[in-house]
Structure 1
Amino acid sequence: MWLEILLASVLGFVIYWFVSKDKEETLPLEDGWWGPGMRPTTGEDESIRPFKVETSDEEINDLHQRIDKVRLTPPLEDSRFHYGFNSNYLKKIISYWRNEFDWRKQVESLNRYPHFKTKIEGLDIHFIHVKPSQLPSGQTPKPLLMVHGWPGSFFEFYKIIPFLTDPKKHGLSDEHVFEVICPSIPGYAFSEASSKKGFNSVATARIFYKLMLRLGFQQFYVQGGDWGALICTNMAQLVPSHVKGLHLNMAIILRNFYTLILLLGWRLGRLFGYTKRDMELMYPFKKVFFKLMRESGYMHIQSTKPDTVEKFSTWTNPEFRDLEDGGLERKFSLDDLLTGVMLYWTTGTITSSQRFYKENMRLDNKHEGIKVHVPTGFAAFPCELIHVPEKWVKSKYPKLISYSYMPRGGHFAAFEEPELLAQDIHKFMGLLERQ
């Protein structure tokens, strides 16, 4: 029986290898218009305008009135976070949000980095652009675009930016110093949402490419996780000559021989090139499967009817569901978490952010079958939703030059473990420049 399975697997691999051994294909660099109405015949205003996060008494009073009207359903006894957000712990958070959380102070903190907006393809695109305050003699900063995902925002990069723009001050080598650009995905926070159907990751990638050109960067580096990983991948597929390096902490790999034989890995893992650490993170498959089932219900809803929404708990560590407080304050402060919530609430973008799932869950996504021929680095965090072995990553990103098993951390790497992620980005840059 096992001999037949092995022969079938080998045959399948040969067929897959033959079919997928194609030329260095790229995505077509098309164009779009996502603003309301028709594209103006007079052209688009390409100016870059300073932007400031603001609030008002009316906004804060409205929030407090809404919080005061909240009604909660009691949790089941001893349910902890197994049924979702435990409402007993939610009472504590609501009380903190209403009586102690200082949104004005957080707005001031958000404005510590320079914010800007510019119109691209009919949408007002928001981004922060942080330059190093000083540079080692003779060194030029490397432009690095960092892209967030859901339910995150540009804010999740605030803690990692100092490790990139001023590495020496924060205990890292200053061999590589970056200027960091963090845009908001259209429909998230301060970036305008599309008025039209079909706005997906490829359209976002094209807009962010145009943003980098508008900032004066013909070549640049990109980094992302969650949706950011897909958007950055699409950028490398669209304009590989402009993307000098791609660093990811998540990878979406669907059309792959290794995913087809996932069930056989527990018996034949070494044959497929899995390391001991891969086996620990991927098996027993039953445990991984049920983890994915528990954590992916939101995706089905948002991929089908997104207009109808405790990821920082179980996506940080799945074992946190066994805790009464979901482990939320083990890695994050309530101020940080509530700031993330406020960026969605004050901008009214939770629905538009969820629509991104429906637009991307299509059967005709051409990018899924296109390999990425840009130097790539990958940070594999142990509590990510699903572990992606090096063999899998290399099948999609043939120029993988750095693959790291990270010692701790989960889905929101830049927000949760900023120093670890920054170290891996620096490591990747070193290997890239020595090629």
Structure 2
Amino acid sequence: MSATPDNSMIRPFTVEVPEAELKALRERILATRWPEKETVDDQSQGPQLATMKELARYWANDYDWRKVEARLNSLPQFITEIDGLDIHFVHVRSKHENALPLIVSHGWPGSIIEQLKIIEPLTDPTAHGGSAEDAFHVVIPSMPGYGYSGKPTETGWGPDRIGRAWVTLMKRLGYDRFVAQGGDWGAIVVDLMAAEEPEGLLGIHTNMAGTVPAEIDNLFQKNIIGAANALENLPAGLSNEERQTCEQLDFAWKHVTYALQMAARPQTLTGLADSPVFLAAWMIDHDAASLALISRSFAGVPEGLTRDDVLDNITHFWLTNSGVSAARLYAENKFSFWGVKGTKIPVAVSVFPEEMYRAPRSWAEKAYPKLVHYNRLDKGGHFAAWEQPKALVDEVRAGFRSLR
């Protein structure tokens, strides 16, 4: 009689990329068939040809994947099955006795690569300008369809289900009380986790708060299909800051065409699995500020993100063939990107100036009845953990201090 396998078992994991795969990647990059130069002098048509050619040149000739592979393998990595799907995660315990367990959720086109810079300051604060009372045990999972996590073979893995999986993961690791942090999709995941008020979740921190009032959010949803002019039909009584935020939302909705494509027809993006340069162009064209930041890094002006930072993440997607499987999360989603989710437990909000929309305090206070922290920072954008790790670490420490 054979033993029944234990699906809840936690298995150690190591990244081991064969040299042949890296050689094949370089060959594909060098064989790229390029389009003609854009017909404008800015990035209004997307990543410029000069940026992409320099990215490809550096990727094929100078970039070294083994450095980030060694960094990943220096961390405790594991895989466990949750709800029928393998979930990959990094789990670093602090040496400090009363550390607070924290699960950090990435977004698109992010990955666990996005959070590597914040692990040591969070787990070992005394070595990074903090005190032992600021310590966290850190868990960073790869989203379903991303990186080394399993790829769903059926529909149903939306951000709400992912949030429930994260609760299961934390309990499986023995944490009966914990907090959660997220940006981009991760912000939606932790917001939905909090809305369900699972036992043990003390509070959340978000750097992409879901605060847009329903009547305004609905206007912009209709605006996408031309059924309403959102800016001309805003409700009366908005403050100047709230009106400026609506202008930011208008710009954001007009520049998230990648999200609409992935939500409607992710399988059309088959080229993401076939062309590394297409994958790179698709991933860096997330929002105007991030694209400008990344373009400057390939022009020799790194500001928060280096060339290697950018290519570590893109190469991670390429080697795990996650381009299309990650895109399907948009098709699975049934929730507003920036709308109110009904969260009632404690929430900390950090607003970075180059975020796609900057949540006003007035909206945050209404969206989150238990708002325990709100701060507007003077530098940083959408990928805060990646771009401004020190600032985000300081915000996480401050945001959760009252919940310990």
Same-fold call, TM > 0.5?
Answer: yes
CA contact (8 A) 1:49 1:116 kept: yes
Q: Within 5 A, what are the aligned runs for 1:186-265?
A: 186-253=144-211, 256=214, 263=231
- 2:398 aligned with 1:427: yes
Which is worse superposed, 298-307 or 75-84?
Answer: 75-84
RMSD value, Cα: 2.9
After TM superposition, give the deviation of residue 77 of structure 1 in Å: 5.3
Cα–Cα, structure 1 residues 171 and 70, in superposed 2: closer, same or farther, change >3 Å?
same
- 2:29 aligned with 1:67: yes
CA distance in 2 between partners of 1:293 and 1:424 (Å): 27
CA distance in 2 between partners of 1:290 and 1:315 (Å): 13
Cα–Cα, structure 1 residues 222 and 239, in superposed 2: closer, same or farther, change >3 Å?
same
Which is worse superposed, 54-63 or 233-242?
Answer: 233-242
Which is worse superposed, 191-200 or 386-395?
Answer: 386-395
Cα–Cα, structure 1 residues 199 and 314, in superposed 2: closer, same or farther, change >3 Å?
closer
Q: Partner of 1:341 in structure 2? A: 314
CA distance in 1 between partners of 2:112 and 2:27 (Å): 28
Which is worse superposed, 68-77 or 288-297?
Answer: 288-297
Cα–Cα, structure 1 residues 401 and 326, in superposed 2: closer, same or farther, change >3 Å?
farther
CA distance in 1 between partners of 2:149 and 2:294 (Å): 33
After TM superposition, give the deviation of residue 395 of structure 1 in Å: 2.3
CA distance in 2 between partners of 1:207 and 1:260 (Å): 29
Q: 2:348 aligns with which of 338, 360, 377?
A: 377
In structure 1, runs of 5+ residues without a counterpart are: 1-41
CA distance in 2 between partners of 1:425 and 1:102 (Å): 31
Deviations 1:228-263 (A, max 9, x none): 011111221224431112100012345535657985
After TM superposition, give the deviation of residue 294 of structure 1 in Å: 4.4
* SS of corresponding position for 1:330: coil
Cα–Cα, structure 1 residues 57 and 259, in superposed 2: closer, same or farther, change >3 Å?
closer
CA contact (8 A) 1:141 1:176 kept: yes
Q: Within 5 A, what are the aligned runs for 1:151-166?
A: 151-166=109-124
CA contact (8 A) 1:302 1:357 kept: yes
- 2:376 aligned with 1:409: no
CA distance in 2 between partners of 1:322 and 1:91 (Å): 11
Q: Partner of 1:121 in structure 2? A: 83
Cα–Cα, structure 1 residues 46 and 321, in superposed 2: closer, same or farther, change >3 Å?
closer
Deviations 1:202-228 (A, max 9, x none): 111111111111100111010001110
Q: Partner of 1:57 in structure 2? A: 19
Q: Partner of 1:110 in structure 2? A: 72
Cα–Cα, structure 1 residues 318 and 333, in superposed 2: closer, same or farther, change >3 Å?
closer
- 2:257 aligned with 1:297: yes
Aligned residues: 377
CA contact (8 A) 2:211 2:340 kept: no
CA contact (8 A) 1:315 1:411 kept: no
Q: Partner of 2:58 in structure 1? A: 96
Deviations 1:79-122 (A, max 9, x none): 23221111112111111111111112221122121110011111
Deviations 1:352-399 (A, max 9, x none): 100000110469x9xx77521211100011111112112222322211
After TM superposition, give the deviation of residue 315 of structure 1 in Å: 5.0
Amino acid at match of 1:181: V
CA distance in 2 between partners of 1:421 and 1:223 (Å): 10
* SS of corresponding position for 2:117: coil
Q: Partner of 1:392 in structure 2? A: 363
After TM superposition, give the deviation of residue 195 of structure 1 in Å: 1.0
After TM superposition, give the deviation of residue 321 of structure 1 in Å: 9.6
Q: Partner of 1:36 in structure 2? A: none
CA distance in 1 between partners of 2:147 and 2:301 (Å): 22
CA distance in 1 between partners of 2:190 and 2:356 (Å): 19
Cα–Cα, structure 1 residues 192 and 152, in superposed 2: closer, same or farther, change >3 Å?
same
Deviations 1:325-366 (A, max 9, x none): 589832211111111011111111110100000110469x9x
CA contact (8 A) 2:297 2:306 kept: no
Cα–Cα, structure 1 residues 149 and 70, in superposed 2: closer, same or farther, change >3 Å?
same
CA contact (8 A) 1:266 1:284 kept: no
Larger radius of gyration: 1
Q: Partner of 2:244 in structure 1? A: 283
CA contact (8 A) 1:84 1:310 kept: no
Residue identity over aligned pairs, in percent, reads: 32
Q: Partner of 2:227 in structure 1? A: none
Cα–Cα, structure 1 residues 160 and 323, in superposed 2: closer, same or farther, change >3 Å?
closer
* SS of corresponding position for 1:119: strand
* SS of corresponding position for 1:162: helix
* SS of corresponding position for 1:353: helix
After TM superposition, give the deviation of residue 52 of structure 1 in Å: 0.4
CA distance in 2 between partners of 1:190 and 1:48 (Å): 14
After TM superposition, give the deviation of residue 160 of structure 1 in Å: 1.0
CA distance in 1 between partners of 2:294 and 2:27 (Å): 31
CA contact (8 A) 1:246 1:376 kept: yes
Q: Partner of 1:38 in structure 2? A: none
CA contact (8 A) 2:47 2:291 kept: no
Q: Partner of 2:323 in structure 1? A: 350
CA distance in 1 between partners of 2:119 and 2:255 (Å): 29
Q: Partner of 1:6 in structure 2? A: none
CA contact (8 A) 2:262 2:331 kept: yes
After TM superposition, give the deviation of residue 149 of structure 1 in Å: 0.2
